[in-house]
Chains A and B, each alone.
Chain A
Amino acid sequence: MSITFENVDWAEIWQGSLDTLTMLAFSTLFTAIIGLPLGILLFLTSRGQLLQNKALYAVLSFIVNILRSVPFIILMIMLIPLTRLIVGTSLGVQGSIPPLVIGAAPFFARLVETSLREVDRGVIEAAQSMGASKWQIIWKVLLPESRPGLIAGITITTVALVSYTAMSGAIGGGGLGDLAIRYGYQRFQTDVMIVTVVILLVLVQILQTIGDRLVAYFTRR
């Protein structure tokens, strides 16, 4: 049996790719906006750090762990009411963004926390000895010093989001994942499945390469 691509509707594939990219762009953006401060807060409130706060750390850590332990597909279904509340629909590109963000932000926050932990304590102390305020330590020491780690973290998160967007196809989320499920899985159109998977694969390759390049560029050690 040879593959003929007879079932492939290229216009639909194009639209699916655009939808996937849109979902990816917005969900990455909001994941960063929510995950970065959350990760910083996790780091700062942990033991021995600038804003050490056992109770707050325990609460944040617990929430993050819960969100990370629920399988994404279940999380999406659980979040349908909340998603409707936020963007008015639980379907299509729009409807898939809130669950994507809520699934990925805690994951990214942990990666942020880990990279901030890598920052040399001595450098933070040096900044304190120069009269840096806590804000200045965050903005001028912690973030620049952990930049390569943060970029690596957002790269990993974005790649994870690619597979999450595909999964969101299962509940009518739109994009390439949606096509793969509707045609490839439900109608046995293997050629559509292959095309979508190849596009996703290329996308992941491109993202990872960009991420690696940026990390290399910003690494001064």
Chain B
Amino acid sequence: MIQLENLHKGYQVDGHIVPALQGIDLSIEKGEIFGVIGHSGAGKSTLIRCINLLERPTSGRVVVDGTDLMNLDDRQLQEQRRQIGMIFQHFNLLSSATVAENVAFPLKLAKRPKAEIEQKVTELLTLVGLEAHRNKYPAQLSGGQKQRVGIARALASDPKVLLCDEATSALDPQTTNSILALLRDINRKLGLTIVLITHEMHVIRAVCDRVAVIDGGKIVEMGNVVDVFLKPQHPTTQEFVEQVADSVELKEIVSHEKADKDRTMIRITFLGSQTYQPVLFQTMLETGTPFNILQGTISRMKDTPYGQLIVELEADQEQVNKTIGSLRQRGLEVEVI
């Protein structure tokens, strides 16, 4: 659905050029939720704004749904932009227009007939749960409600792609979750392709199918969220993954316990349906290894449940190897730490 090829973007700052993107290659499939994560200044906003040419790349290609956007004239670009909805960190609603007028705005720009606009607005406000607030002004809404208006407005012209620039960064955790749930919902209902940028790993974990990690204007890691999450390669990725793991306490436990020779600490990762089965118990029963659970989490990546256990085995090396072998045989991911 979206192809970015060798994208470069530099900003002119007092005479010299500051590179913001340095050779981005990216292909986003139809219907997926694609996340881009990176630190402040990594180039996330620049990247997403290149997709609808709010920012024109210095070089490279931007292809959306088969159309090379860089070759279009103004009018054709305006036409194409209707296919690409966008929501923003600070919502960017028209403060002089009501909720309903804001949602109607893209349709009015496209000069749709009045009756159609009216029907579409009602439909969208119902979808985002704001039917009761249609005649309010943005200043009278909460942050979460404003973002819902933003989403309804972005969906009004039936886009194929929705770009989300830090759409939840100005919201509290609970509101963030409800907005993320709404995004998943419309992704599923409308088959919409969503590109989402954020600096929060839990947002990626909650909704994305695939993720790219961007650092210094380059993609340093990319893959399925599940893979990137469980086996982060690049230091930046590892940092982000640590945001959501309770790894701070873990480090303390590790350094505390390491001293003892006959104790081995392992991390076991469960994925999918394994998460809810008593594999650990069965294995330990079979091998007769005394064990001690130090830490455990069960969570969910989009639709995939997963769990991680930090387990201490009180046994000699041979026994430990046997136990690990047995766990791996059952399809679990095991790592000695």
Contacts and interface: CB of A to CB of B under 8 A. Distances in A.
Q: Do A and B bind each other?
A: yes
Interface of A: 120, 122-123, 125-133, 136, 140-141, 144-145, 147, 218, 220-221
B109 A131 contact: yes
B152 to A, nearest CB: 13
Contacts of A144: 94, 96-97
Interface in B65-100: 74-75, 77-82, 84-86, 88, 90, 92-97
A131 B76 CA distance: 9
A125 B54 contact: yes
Contacts of B105: 127, 130, 140
Contacts of B80: 131
Nearest to B98: A220
Given A123-B94, A144-B97, A132 B78 contact: yes
A123 B149 CA distance: 13
B307 interface: no
Contacts of B198: none
A28 to B, nearest CB: 23
Contact of B88 (A122, A133, A136, A141): A122
B10 interface: no
A129 B109 contact: no
B93 A123 contact: yes
A125 B137 CA distance: 20
Contacts of A127: 105, 109
Given A129-B81, A131-B81, A120 B96 contact: no
A128 B92 contact: no
B62 to A, nearest CB: 14
A196 B96 CA distance: 40
A144 B77 CA distance: 25
B97 A129 contact: no
B231 interface: no
B216 interface: no
Interface of B: 52, 54, 74-75, 77-82, 84-86, 88, 90, 92-97, 105-106, 108-110, 137-139, 153, 157, 163
A125 B91 CA distance: 11
B82 A130 contact: yes
A136 B138 CA distance: 21
Contact of A145 (B95, B109, B153, B163): B95
Contacts of A122: 88, 90, 92
B78 A131 contact: yes
A140 B95 contact: no
A83 to B, nearest CB: 39
Contact of B54 (A123, A129, A147): A129
B81 A130 contact: yes
A124 to B, nearest CB: 9
Nearest to B105: A130
Contacts of B74: 133
Contact of A126 (B75, B82, B86, B139): B86
Contacts of B92: 120, 122-123, 125-126
Contact of A133 (B78, B85, B90, B153): B78
A145 B96 CA distance: 6
B106 A131 contact: yes
Given A140-B108, A140-B109, A129 B86 contact: yes
A214 to B, nearest CB: 13
B60 to A, nearest CB: 20
Contacts of A136: 109
Given A122-B88, A132-B109, A133-B78, A218 B54 contact: no
Nearest to A220: B137
26 contacts: A120-B95, A122-B88, A123-B92, A123-B95, A125-B54, A125-B88, A127-B105, A127-B109, A128-B54, A128-B81, A129-B54, A129-B81, A130-B86, A130-B109, A131-B79, A131-B80, A131-B82, A132-B109, A133-B74, A133-B75, A136-B109, A140-B105, A140-B109, A220-B137, A220-B138, A221-B95
Contacts of A145: 94-96
A126 B81 CA distance: 11
A220 B139 contact: yes
Given A120-B95, A129-B85, A130-B82, 6 more contacts: A130-B105, A131-B106, A131-B157, A144-B96, A220-B96, A221-B139
